[in-house]
Homo-oligomer: A and B are copies of this chain.
Amino acid sequence: MNNYPQASRILVAIDCIIFGFDGKDIKLLLIKRNFEPEKGKWSLMGGFLNADEDLADGAVRILYNLTGLKNIYVEQLETFGKADRDPGERTVSVVFFALIKIDDHDSEAVKSHNASWITLDARPKLIFDHEKMVTRAIEHLKYNAALHPIGFELLPERFTIPQLQKLYEAIYNIPIDRRNFSRKLLSTGLLIDTGQKNNNSATKKATLYKLDAERYKTKFHSFWNFMPDSMKSN
């Protein structure tokens, strides 16, 4: 069956931007390619969409291959389609944005793909237009973390308010007032006090919270206001 005989068939790639947070810095999971083309160069994790595969399933497959995780927070970000973006063959790439709890990933799988967690500042030159994709993903993270409660996807199941604050300070690269941050966050009603305390701390132990899963779902699309001034930039 060929209803569209004159149209071009094109390779459809999937590339994934995978963010993690180690308690101090936002990190990217990048792979040093041990296959051709561009062997030895750094790139995003990617692959091709299969003929009978849903696009979203393709993203899940590729993320699973690299991290060993199935329930990753994923959003479709943007499709990159410059005619010359892949010198090997015309390829359109659909880019996905993923946030993972960095301690959960399968380090064997990561190692076998020759992948590493790299801080944003230290990221190497990437192949093709992957640097543009990363830039776009960082923008998206800043924009969306200010409006929707996605930051939690980068933290462990149980987390403290100071941890969350460090995450936001890393995303926006600004200092935040502890007292105002805490008040604002608690007022969202998204946090449940687990009654436990953080043991890692060398000083006063902070309260461990978890997400109120119910409220998280219902309030996800409502707006919140964690916009730092640096983003309002009038």
On A, residues with C-beta under 8 Å from B are 1-4, 7-12, 36-37, 48-56, 58, 76, 78-83, 88-92, 94, 147, 219, 221-223, 227, 231-234
Chain B nearest CB, measured from A32 CB (Å)? 19
25 A-B pairs whose Cβ atoms sit less than 8 Å apart in the complex: A1-B89, A3-B88, A7-B11, A7-B48, A8-B48, A8-B50, A9-B9, A10-B11, A10-B51, A12-B81, A51-B90, A52-B90, A55-B81, A55-B92, A58-B81, A76-B78, A76-B79, A81-B94, A92-B92, A147-B147, A219-B234, A222-B231, A222-B232, A223-B231, A223-B232
**In the complex, chain B residues whose CB is within 8 Å of the CB of A233:** 221-222
**In the complex, chain B residues whose CB is within 8 Å of the CB of A2:** 89
**In the complex, chain B residues whose CB is within 8 Å of the CB of A10:** 9-12, 49, 51
- Whole-angstrom distance between the alpha carbons of A15 and B59 in the complex? 22
Chain B nearest CB, measured from A232 CB (Å)? 5
Each complex incorporates copies of this chain amounting to 2
Interface class of chain A by DSSP: loop
Chain B nearest CB, measured from A129 CB (Å)? 12
**In the complex, chain B residues whose CB is within 8 Å of the CB of A1:** 88-89
Chain B nearest CB, measured from A177 CB (Å)? 20
Using CB atoms, name the residue of chain B closest to A2.
Answer: B89
Is A223 within 8 A of B219, CB to CB? no
Known: A12-B10, A219-B234, A223-B232. A55 touches B82 (CB 8 A): yes
**In the complex, chain B residues whose CB is within 8 Å of the CB of A90:** 51-52
Is A3 within 8 A of B54, CB to CB? no
